[in-house]
Structure formats: structure tokens, C-alpha cells
Amino acid sequence: MLNATTWFERYQQRYRWATRAYDRFVQDLVPELVDTLQRNEQVTVAVYGATQVGKTTLILDLLGLSTLTTNEVGSVLRGGQQLGKSATAMPIRYGRSLDDGWYIAGEGPLSADTARETLRAFRRKVESGGICDAEVLDIRIPRGLFQQCDDSSAGLELNIIDIPGINSHSSAEQALVTKLADRYVVAADIVLLVGKADSLGFLNERDLIIPALADWAAQPTRFRIVLTYGFSPDSLVSQFKDQELTVEQVRDVHIGQMRTHDYVFPPEFRSNLFVLELGDSIVDLGRTNPEYLQRILQVTNDFRGELLENIVKAAGPYARLQGAFQLDRVINARVERLRKALENQEVEYGRQRRQITDELAAFHPELLDASDEEIYVAIDKLGVDRLDLKNKLDELSASIKRLEEFNCAALFLTEFSAGAVEKVSWLQEQLENCEQLQRKACIQAASLLFDKGVLPSWLKDEVPVIEYQRKALLDIDSHLNSYVLDGYWWSSSNFNEDRNSLQKALRLNAREHGERIQSATKRALHERKRALLADYKNLKSHCIILQSYLESLQALEREYRCICAEYADDLQEMDRALGMASSFESQLNAAFMEELRSTKEDVESHPVPAQRFYGLLHTRLLLSEIDRMYEGKSF
């Protein structure tokens, strides 16, 4: 006799070979792709969309909430806030309670007022940043608020998570959403992207800030598009009011509207598009246009029924295998996004580098389109010039000090010729000769200071030429010219006295010229020092600015190379994952052949006849199941 229980167990395990192959396949993938495939046995639905698009209303409708209790439930869930405010401050998991009480984060049963205050306090904590890493918030709604009639959603054990829109008003909410949304999106069997029918921008990749959502178009197994307010806009009312509507007709209209806005809706997502009218908009239509409401109710119910059916199937083994078959599309989408992002980084890098080099060229025209090496050379040259200026400044300061200590009168001191003759004419000749030497010293003061080691050669041009003056010699010159006779016949003492007076006058003239040349040269050297110091400061500033430009370019280059390296690593990982994804079919084939071989052995050699018969049935079942498995590739 056949054992029905044994056959039932074998039937329940008919796809065990496939799930084992699936599990082995998943374990070999990179973690971020593992997250997109691993699931538990409960149906988990993630709902994402901007604020005020009807997400919460949709969730409650899917759970089977009675339309008569919508306002009551909505007031509690908003935490007492007015309509128009976000009802969701963080990821929330909704469900039905087993009694008529509210349950918030495991606390309950609570009255509606207590639940409202609890959620109000919770929202305040989130908005103030007091909760920055919370898990999903569980809310159980009293069972008495749900429909009591037979409904397709009543028997569903749904795990529905409402993910708040990224455009929440509070910055604290935004930070929390960005951090947590990925966690719950990748854990879901099915993800509903919800948006208003007259605002389709939410489907654009650039607006889907959360990375886990960006690849939705490559995952038709996991993602569904839900358009709310899909029948109430005036343009749609005029288009639908005289038609007997079907699901496919409505889909055609909305996909056509997407095309008019230059948005290409993926063809394989046609059956994944659901158009609904829920909540207050239904009430408004019933009040303003009841005939039109009756016309659209059937098609909205059809859409709702299809969506519920999709949700039920989402956690089945076939759906998960379909996800594995579609994994190469997910990877290719991510690769394409990575490459586009890398191209954008390259463009941005070029723009920022051009901005820096343009500023550099405006500051230092010789470095237009210069390479880093050329900037290095320019900075090195500036460094050499700075050192040269520093040395000159040091040498100039030392020269000024030597000049102050040097007796410049020595440059103008003269000596009488040997063999004195006691004649007035001889003294006049000495005066003339000495004056010629002093005049010459006025002209050659720079060379004389260089020869004396007071000034270096490069400062010779700084020494001014002073005008020769003989004020100190006028008296002795006049005295000598007053003599009538040339000789000193009457007394040698008069000659000696005149000679001493002449020497004294020449020394005085030398001292006066020395003071003048020293003063004029000091002024010239100090002026040169000020000029050199200004040049030194300008050169130092120039060098610092060039260095800052170079460091900016180098920092930009390092950042760009680091980003490129990260993208290269990600692309390499995606290439490896793509190879793994491509091998899934062969792994599934191998697992199927192994299961078929094992079943065949049971048929041929199992000692229990009933088990051999089970093997025959199992073989037939396997052959039918394998076809269904491969249908996932075109799901």
C-alpha cells in the first residue's frame, strides 16, 4: 500500500534540488547581490515613494482595512499631525493585531488616543535626531477596523514595510531614511515603487537616491510600479469617462503618457504596472462624479486583485529562481551605472582641474596648460631665486654695517709730493693736484669702496656720484693768491704755517666729502634693501601661491585616482559576479541531473516497491518542474 504521507512529503520537496542549487549559488556571490536574493519564508513587501503619494493608504488597503475606518486609522498613524504632513517618520511594518487594541513597538493593547500620543512622541524623537539607528517600527492595527467580508487580502500573511520618502521635510528624517532604506529594500520579496500618475519623475534613476532602488528596471521579478490617483486627474477623467475600461487599456494610456514625457517605460514591466484610485480621492469622486466612479471601480478592483496575486507569488520558489536568472541584468545595470558614474567623475575631474589651471595661468601666465612637472620646475626656480635674494639681503645688511664702520674720509685723503720747495707756487701746485685727486675720488667712490672691501661688486652701481665741493679750501686758496712774491725770503716759518693750513683744509675737505658719500651711499643701500625685501616677500608669496595650486592639483589627482580605483574594484567585482550569474543555468542543470540520477536509482534499486513507484511519480514531476523553472528567464 502506498503511504500518502510519504508521497506528500516528497511532493512538498519536489523543488528541493533547485533551492539547494540556488543556495549554493547565492553563497558564492558578493554580499550586496546576496542581499537581493536571500529571503525568508514570509512574504515581505517594501513600499517606497515620496511623501503624500498615498503609500500608507495603499498598504492599509492591501491589508484589508475597511474604508469606513480610514480616517480614524490615518489620524493615529500621523501621530496627531494635520493632513498634508508625512505620516511616516521611519520604516514602519504594518499588520493586524489579534484583538481590538493598538500595538506600537510591541507595547499594547493601547487605545487609539494612547497610540496616537505614542507615535507623536516617537516622531519628535526622530525629527530631533534622538533616534538615529532604530530598527523597523512595528504597528499592529485593531482587527475590528478591517473588512469583515471575504476579501482576497484577508488571508494573506503580509509583512509590509512602509519606507518614508527621501524628500521628508526633516533633515533628521532624511538621514535616517537614507541609512535604513537599503536594509529593508534588499530584504523584500517584492518592492512597490509608488508615485502619483501625474508625476512620473519618481521612476528616473537620478531621483531614486537609494542605491538599492536604482536597478529596478533590471529586476521585473521583484519590482512593481504603482500609480496612485490614476483615474482622478481631469485629463484622465475626460479620456476614461465614456469607455468600458480594462486593465490593459488603462496601462496603454499611462504608458503612452510616459512616452509623451520622453520616458521609455521598460516593455517587460508592462504587466508590473498597476493603476489605482484609493482613499480620499475615491470619496471625492463619489461626491463630485459618482457615475464616473462606478465606471472605474471594476478596473481598479482588477488592478488591486492582480497586485495581491503578484504579492502572493513573490515568495515562491519560482519567483526566487527567476530573480537568479535575472541577476545578470541587475549586474549589467549596475555596471552601466558604475561606468556612467566613472565617466561623470572624469568630466568633473577635468572641469575642476581646468578651473585650477585657469586660475594658475591668470596668476602666472607662463604656466598656461602646464603639467605638474613644469609647475614643480617653476617652484624650484622660485626657490632658487628666493635663496639668491635672501643671500643678497644678508650681504646688503652686512655691507651697510661695514659702511657705517668705515672712515669714508680716507677715500679723499691726499699726500703732498716729495721734495718740498718753499714757494707759494709749489703750495698752489699741491692744492691743484690734491683737488684733482679728490675730484677723481668723487667719481670713483664705488670702485674705491669695492677695493677697500666695504661693498661687493653687485652693489657698486648703488653708490652715487657726488658733486665735488671746495668750500673748505676757499680760504687757503685766497690766502695763497694774495702773495705778490713767490718766495718766502724773510721766514721759513711762514711757509710751514701755510703748508699746515693747506693740509688741514684738504683733510677737512676729505672729511666733508667722506660724510657726504657715506650718507648718500647709505640712503641708496637702504632703498635697495627695501626694494629687495619687497621682491623677496613677493617672491615668497608667489612661491606659496604656486605651491598651493600644485597641492590643489595633486590633491584633486589623488582623490580622482582613489575614486577610479574604487570604481575599478567595483567593476572587477561585478565582472566576477557576472561570471557567477551566467553560470547559474549550468548549476541548475547539474543539480537537476543529479536529482534525476538519484530518483532513477530509487526506481531501479530501492528495496521497497512503494518507494520505486514514488520514484516514477517523482521523475514525471521533475520533468514538468524543470520547464517551469526555466520559464523564469522570460518572466
Q: What is the pLDDT of residue 527?
A: 94
Closest CA to 511 of 399, 439, 407: 407
Q: What is the pLDDT of residue 39?
A: 52
Least confidently predicted of 443-452, 556-565, 613-622: 613-622
How confident is residue 1, by pLDDT bands cut at 50, 70 and 90? very low
How confident is residue 85, by pLDDT bands cut at 50, 70 and 90? low
Residue 279 has pLDDT above 80, yes or no: no
Q: What is the pLDDT of residue 5?
A: 47
Closest CA to 574 of 335, 342, 217, 329: 335
Asked whether the CA dihedral 349, 355, 357, 360 is positive or negative, the reply is negative
Q: What is the pLDDT of residues 212-268, one digit of tens each?
A: 788 888 888 889 999 999 888 888 888 887 888 899 999 999 988 888 776 788 888
Residue 609 has pLDDT above 70, yes or no: yes
How confident is residue 413, by pLDDT bands cut at 50, 70 and 90? very high
When comparing pLDDT for 21 and 118, which is higher?
A: 118
Q: What is the pLDDT of residue 59?
A: 87
How confident is residue 135, by pLDDT bands cut at 50, 70 and 90? low
Residue 344 has pLDDT above 50, yes or no: yes
Q: What is the pLDDT of residue 315?
A: 61
Distance CA 592, CA 22 (A): 12
State percent of the chain over pLDDT 70.
83
Q: What is the pLDDT of residue 378?
A: 80
Write out the DSSP string of 610-632. HHHHHHHHHHHHHHHHHHHHHGG
Please tell me which of 40-49, 457-466, 498-507, 576-585 the model is most confident about, judged by mean pLDDT.
Answer: 498-507
Q: What is the pLDDT of residue 505?
A: 95
Residue 438 has pLDDT above 90, yes or no: yes
Give me the chain's average pLDDT, please: 81
When comparing pLDDT for 46 and 21, which is higher?
A: 46
Q: What is the pLDDT of residue 154?
A: 45
Q: What is the pLDDT of residue 60?
A: 84
Please tell me which of 11-25, 172-186, 424-438 the model is most confident about, judged by mean pLDDT.
Answer: 424-438
**Residue 113 burial class via C-beta count within 10 angstroms: exposed 0-12, middle 13-18, buried 19 and up:** exposed
Q: What is the pLDDT of residue 319?
A: 66
When comparing pLDDT for 496 and 106, which is higher?
A: 496
Least confidently predicted of 346-350, 581-585, 629-633: 629-633
Distance CA 332, CA 493 (A): 122
Asked whether the CA dihedral 456, 457, 458, 463 is positive or negative, the reply is positive
Q: What is the pLDDT of residue 434?
A: 95
Q: What is the pLDDT of residues 351-385, one digit of tens each?
A: 998 888 888 888 888 877 777 788 878 878 878 88
CA-angle at 352, arms to 348 and 355, nearest 5°: 140
How confident is residue 272, by pLDDT bands cut at 50, 70 and 90? very high
Write out the DSSP string of 466-534. PPP--GGGHHHHHHHHT-SSSB--S-HHHHHHHHHHHHHHHHHHHHHHHHHHHHHHHHHHHHHHHHHHH
Q: What is the pLDDT of residue 71?
A: 75
CB 67 within 8 A of CB 111: no
Q: What is the pLDDT of residues 440-479, one digit of tens each?
A: 999 999 899 999 999 999 988 999 999 999 999 999 999 9
CB 301 within 8 A of CB 276: no
Q: How many separate helices (H) and strands (E) can be counted in the chain?
A: 20, 9
Across the range 535-548, mean pLDDT stands at 86
Least confidently predicted of 80-84, 183-187, 409-413: 80-84
Phi/psi for 94 (5° steps) reads -100, 150
The rounded radius of gyration (Å) of the Cα atoms in the chain is 50
Phi/psi for 40 (5° steps) reads -100, -175
Write out the DSSP string of 41-87. SSEEEEEE--TTSSHHHHHHHHHTB-GGGHHHHHHHHTTTPPTTS-S
